[in-house]
Structure 1
């Protein structure tokens, strides 16, 4: 896809999500149904739960109107404001759904597929759609021609390595705490049954998998597909593929970080009772920013030539 086609797709996604966010609260207001993002009983519908239902409907409609406008207008200011609207509406639901996916798949394979029904939750589907649209809108802001030759290439190489290291360490620290919780290590022990421990191991595996994929930003297989992969083995990895994927995860991590910081600001008893288990999650804002910066510098490194300035000289 060309850059123009990619931007058309991302603007279309933002437009559809914006219209949905505008229509849903109107339907809720007309029918008396609860706002799906102001539903304290649903783990994916809490982002507006601090508001009364009429206010939540009004805020969601306003955000939807702003996001739809960002899909139509080419104004950078409007798109930045729309990203702010997404920041308000997104919560930890989408990232949690990804994190629990290994456990859910394992449960389904072992005959307990009922847990998969949680993935059909309307608030969760809205969170996933908003995450995709937010990442796409962010991409329209950062997808610009990258000037420079050998100097820009070398700076990007160093910065990619630096930010990738941070973006790898953060999820690995989180994974380690989940393993320690499962093993009931003193200081990390949290009351959990066998199902809870299996879910904890699944979260650790998901975090480790994310760290490995992030590591690819500085590895050869992050530029060319590994030999063991059928059909694409040895071919060049499209530059934008890991960049868009990393930006998408960065958006979801930051949304989840908002919920964690909210726990800290309210001095949650759960947080204080199991500080060593939950404190590593305070790294998530840093994880989000470092992942985004690693991806953008990876793109600069891939799209600048180390020989360009030398040839010009």
Structure 2
């Protein structure tokens, strides 16, 4: 399948990068890009000494390359575990801040976009793409279950997956409005605008998640050029939801790490961090909603009938 070939290529490229970068860093004395506390996207291995960070990255690279070369389910699950270790909140933050960055660029602050050229962030984005595509190959198996049961489960998990981003968006709006309990005195106008951009991104993500249980999640709306009224390919929303699920889980892991290490930042602004404690639940519920959506669509009696007639 084309999707599996893309996964093999993306996973292979990222795996080779994970193998090559550690010896290059060791030879040049450069810090490991995933153990660079000064970069917000380079913190996943920051607690390790540089030699150990190099070793861990290289071992993960071996596992990831093996997953690309050998289509074995156990090896691919091990590679997903490697990605879970290396991924952090950087990729999701980059996507969340994109609306603010675009507006900043339009208003003349193009220099803000330089943050997207960070090597740790580019690595995080590459690993996120590879992990999401690899996850798709793991779950892309023959569908089992009934249409009605899948319909009920899709609705349940979709509603749960919509709670966390809406809660998060609400807190960012309250922070921007300086509501007591949410206000952050150190946040300037630019920071508030960025927060509103994050809220917008979260609401947009919630709307797309809602599509898993809405008619326009099965047929393109009339305002979509060249596709209006056509069936939405089942793989498209499933793959997109799984990709977001990977990003959210990586960010959730980083947030939980801050909470359990009693970060002073969390203690100083608990209401800013509280909604992020729901992110692991958001990740799991979104993945389950997507997989049950796939079962529901592929076991739909009408679709099955059309397939037989074709």
Both structures adopt the same fold (TM-score exceeding 0.5)? yes
Partner of 2:173: 179
Q: Structure 2 matches for 1:108-119, cutoff 5 A?
A: 108-119=105-116
Runs of 4+ in 1 over 4 A off after TM superposition: none
TM-score, normalisation: structure 2: 0.96
Native 8 Å contact 1:172 1:208 kept in 2: yes
For residues 155-197 of structure 1, the C-alpha deviation after alignment (integer angstroms, 9 at most, x for no partner) is: 1100000000011111000000000111111111112100000
Q: CA deviation at 1:72?
A: 1.2
Q: CA deviation at 1:80?
A: 1.0
Partner of 1:292: 287
Q: CA deviation at 1:276?
A: 1.9
Q: CA deviation at 1:75?
A: 1.9
Partner of 2:209: 214
Q: CA deviation at 1:5?
A: 2.1
Partner of 2:149: 155
Partner of 1:34: 31
Q: Secondary structure at the match of 1:205?
A: helix
Partner of 2:7: 10
TM-score, normalisation: structure 1: 0.95
Measured in 1, the distance between the counterparts of 2:235 and 2:182 equals 39
Aligned residue among 59, 65, 70 for 1:73: 70
Q: CA deviation at 1:275?
A: 1.4
Measured in 1, the distance between the counterparts of 2:36 and 2:258 equals 18
Measured in 2, the distance between the counterparts of 1:75 and 1:145 equals 16
Measured in 1, the distance between the counterparts of 2:178 and 2:243 equals 33
Partner of 1:102: 99
Q: CA deviation at 1:295?
A: 0.3
How many residue pairs get matched? 303
Q: CA deviation at 1:6?
A: 1.4
Q: Given the alignment of the two structures, is residue 85 of structure 1 paired with residue 82 of structure 2, yes or no?
A: yes
Aligned residue among 36, 56, 61 for 1:59: 56
Unaligned runs of 5+ in 1: none
Q: CA deviation at 1:147?
A: 3.5
Taking only aligned residues, the RMSD between alpha carbons, in angstroms, comes to 1.2
Measured in 1, the distance between the counterparts of 2:33 and 2:76 equals 24
Measured in 1, the distance between the counterparts of 2:118 and 2:125 equals 11
Partner of 1:170: 164
Q: Structure 2 matches for 1:247-266, cutoff 5 A?
A: 247-266=242-261
Q: CA deviation at 1:306?
A: 3.3
Native 8 Å contact 1:187 1:277 kept in 2: no
Unaligned runs of 5+ in 2: 306-310
For residues 199-233 of structure 1, the C-alpha deviation after alignment (integer angstroms, 9 at most, x for no partner) is: 00000000000000000000111111110111111
